Structure formats: structure tokens, C-alpha cells
Amino acid sequence: MKQSPFIYGNTVCSHSFTNREIEIKKLFDNLTGGINTMIISPRRWGKSSLVEKAVFEINKKEKTYKTLIIDLFSVSSEEEFLETFAREIIKASSTKWQDWLKSGKDFFKNLMPQIKIGIDPATDFSISFDWKELKIHSQEILNLPETIAQKKGIKIIICLDEFQNLSSFPDFENFEKKMRAVWQRQKMVTYCLYGSKRHMMTEIFNNPSKPFYRFGDLLMLPKIKEAKWVEFLCKSFKETGKSIKESDALLVTQLMRNHSWYVQQLAHYTWNLTQKIATKKEIEMALIELINANSPLYQKEIESLPSTQLNFLKAVVSGEKHFTSTSVMNKYKLGTPRNVSKNKITLVNNDLIQEIDHLFEFVDPAFELWFRKQFFHQSYLNI
């Protein structure tokens, strides 16, 4: 049997990738044109996939550029960040590991890196510094890409995923200033900084009193359009010897409200359950499977919420707009008006809900379906 054409859970590059032509072009032009670019969207809408795709295109077409992508998701201190940053830049600067070993001598003035290399240099290469020295000379690391680029006559593009993670470091404010001061002077290096925590990312990049304000072009990544999804679903079914009607592909897309990860997941389950032609029956079974697979997460999410926040979510799915009106506060037991406004901010900042055209909705479409069933006994295929 053929493999499913739908992929979720990982970034998608080649065959499972759809649309985003405009964003790829923009990112390509910006990054090769020396314009730093920041990308913000809720998680799993496709930032990492988009950046990978753009970088892939750059590598293919622009040989004078060295590119690197660093995921900061699990980086938990300034020291770890600086070491990771240095290691990845050195690795990207040359394809020969022998060059990496020489980098201490070639590129550092104040710091003395300890370089270790294992049997497989590609995966087993580490660089570390004396912590005290590193603290004093962190600028040398922050400027390392420019140093290398100048010496080698190349240009470097650095993509930092989940950038907002840095803001949890102690003393981030100072570090933030330092990064900005060093990076903005660099001529041969361009940055792409992106992340999922919208609230934190906006605070870093869109607050006029913060150092990274106007660091570059700020891109709010939209969802992939419905029509594009329908086209992609129909085509992918067809290419693998199955089929789905346009109206059913539309149903899959709408159920998951164009959410990249979920459309792929629901399409994948539907495809798996389909012998030849997908119908509503397969879609419904797939939806149940999808929600069951995710429900432990949803359950956990709910259990961690204070009751006034849970009640606020109930008011949201019921389509309420005026949360501080007495009748709404009483009906859903939302607490005091102060509770209401605080809870609203907390739920938005935690990316549980978002405001679109003055109406709140769940950020996670499958979580919403589960929630409606759980608390309002609504069936999944209600739309």
C-alpha cells in the first residue's frame, strides 16, 4: 500500500508542502537582500516549515550564502545559547570538520573555545567556554558570524526558531540589548527570528521601548487559505490512487478551520480509512480518531485551568461578546469584572483563545470540538 501523502508533527518540506508562495518569495528576497525578518503565528501554523522551505530555496539558488537554522526550544540559559550559536555557526561555515577544529585560532581573539569532536563529527561536535570569560566576552560570540563572513568573504543567514524562549533567561533585558547592539552593526549577516508565543514575540519585537523594535520586517503569518487546502487534499488523494470530492475536502478543511497541522492530521486519518473514495463517513470516523488521540492533552489543559477561566471558555464557545455584562457574568459564573478582564488576557496570552473581528475563538479547532462535546454535548460534525 502507498504511504499517506499527509504529514504532521514534523516540519514539512518538499511533497507535503503547499501554498505559501507569497511568503516564500518575501522571505527569500528579504533574507538574501539583507533584511532581518521576524515571523509570528500561533504554533503549528507552519513557521518552521516555511523557513525550512525558504532556506532550501536559498541554498539551491544562492551559492554565496551559508544558512543555518537553530531551534531554541530546549535551550535554557544564556551560556547554552551562546555555545549552541557558536557551534552551529562554525559548523555552517565549512563542510570540512578539519576547519572547525581550527576555528578557535582563526576566529577568536579573547575567548579560548574548547572544541571536542567525536567519531561522527557531524553529530558529535561540541564547543564550550569558560563561563566567566564567556560572560565578559559574549559579544565576541554574538559577532562570530560577522567575523567568519568577513574572513571568508561569504554571507550568512541565521534562522532562530522559538526565539521567544530566550526571554525566560535571567537577565534577558541586558542580553537583549547586547544582541541587538551587536547584530544591527553586522553587514554580512541576516537574521530570521520566529516563534509561537505570540504575546512574548510581540512584546520583544513590537514594543517601541524594547531594543528589538524595528529590527527588521515583521511578518504575521496567516493561515493557508481554504481553497488552497481543498486543491492540495484533492490532488494528494488522487496521486495516491484514491479520491475525495471537493465538497468533502472542504469539510475536512473547515472542520479544522484551515489550521495547518490539524488539516494534515485529519486528512491523514481520513486517507487511512479510505479504500477508494473518501466520504463523510470516513471523515467522521477520522475526526473521532483525531479527537480521541488528542483528548488526553485537552483533558490536561482543562484540569490546569481555574474555574473562572474554564467558564470564560464556555462563554466563548457560546458566542458571547459582552463578557462583563451582568447577565453573561452571572450565567457563566465568570466572577468579578476584574476577573473577567484578567482571565481574558491570560487566555489570550497563553494562546488558548484569539480575537478575530471582535469575536473570540479557540486557537485550537479540535480542542474546541472536544470542548463543545464535553460541556455542551454537541456532536463533532455540527457544522
Strand partners, 69: 159
- Which of 15/187 has CB closer to ligand ADP? 15
Residue nearest to Mg ion (CB): 48
User: By CB under 5 A, is residue 339 in contact with Mg ion?
Assistant: no
Report which of 51, 56, 54 is spatially closest to residue 71, judged by C-alpha positions: 51
**In this structure, are residues 18 and 224 in contact, taking their beta carbons and an 8 Å threshold?**
yes
x/- track of binding to ligand ADP for residues 181-210 (CB under 6 A): ---------------x--------------
CA–CA separation, 34 vs 150, rounded Å? Answer: 15
Q: Applying CB under 5 A, what is the total number of residues that bind Mg ion? A: 1
User: By CB under 5 A, is residue 165 in contact with Mg ion?
Assistant: no
- Of these partners, ligand ADP, Mg ion, none, which one is at the site of residue 267 (CB under 5 to 8 Å by kind)? none
CB count, 10 Å around CB of 244? Answer: 26
Query: Which residues in 257-296 contact ligand ADP (CB under 6 A)?
Result: 260-261, 264
Q: How far is the CB of 232 from ligand ADP (least distance, A)?
A: 7
CA dihedral of residues 178, 183, 185, 188 (deg, nearest 10): 160
Integer angstrom CA distances of residue 173 from 75, 78, 158, 176, 225: 17, 12, 21, 5, 38
- Of these partners, Mg ion, ligand ADP, none, which one is at the site of residue 41 (CB under 5 to 8 Å by kind)? ligand ADP
Q: How far is the CB of 229 from ligand ADP (least distance, A)?
A: 8
- Of these partners, ligand ADP, Mg ion, none, which one is at the site of residue 219 (CB under 5 to 8 Å by kind)? none
x/- track of binding to Mg ion for residues 30-69 (CB under 5 A): ------------------x---------------------
Look at residue 71 and give its three-state secondary structure.
strand
Residue type, 280: K
Cβ contacts of 348 within 8 Å, gap of 6 or more = 199, 354, 355
**In this structure, are residues 187 and 146 in contact, taking their beta carbons and an 8 Å threshold?**
yes
User: By CB under 6 A, is residue 11 in contact with ligand ADP?
Assistant: yes
- Which of 69/101 has CB closer to ligand ADP? 69
Q: How far is the CB of 264 from ligand ADP (least distance, A)?
A: 3
Look at residue 193 and give its three-state secondary structure.
strand
- 225 DSSP 8-state letter: P
Q: How far is the CB of 63 from Mg ion (least distance, A)?
A: 27
- 165 DSSP 8-state letter: G
**In this structure, are residues 365 and 372 in contact, taking their beta carbons and an 8 Å threshold?**
no
- Which of 190/265 has CB closer to ligand ADP? 265
Q: Which of residues 12, 160, 310, 340 is near ligand ADP by CB under 6 A?
A: 12
Residue nearest to ligand ADP (CB): 46
Query: Which residues in 26-65 contact ligand ADP (CB under 6 A)?
Result: 41, 43-49
Q: How far is the CB of 377 from Mg ion (least distance, A)?
A: 35
Q: How far is the CB of 235 from ligand ADP (least distance, A)?
A: 12
CA–CA separation, 260 vs 161, rounded Å? Answer: 18
Q: Which residues bind Mg ion (CB under 5 A)?
A: 48
Q: Which residues bind ligand ADP (CB under 6 A)?
A: 7-12, 16-20, 41, 43-49, 196, 260-261, 264
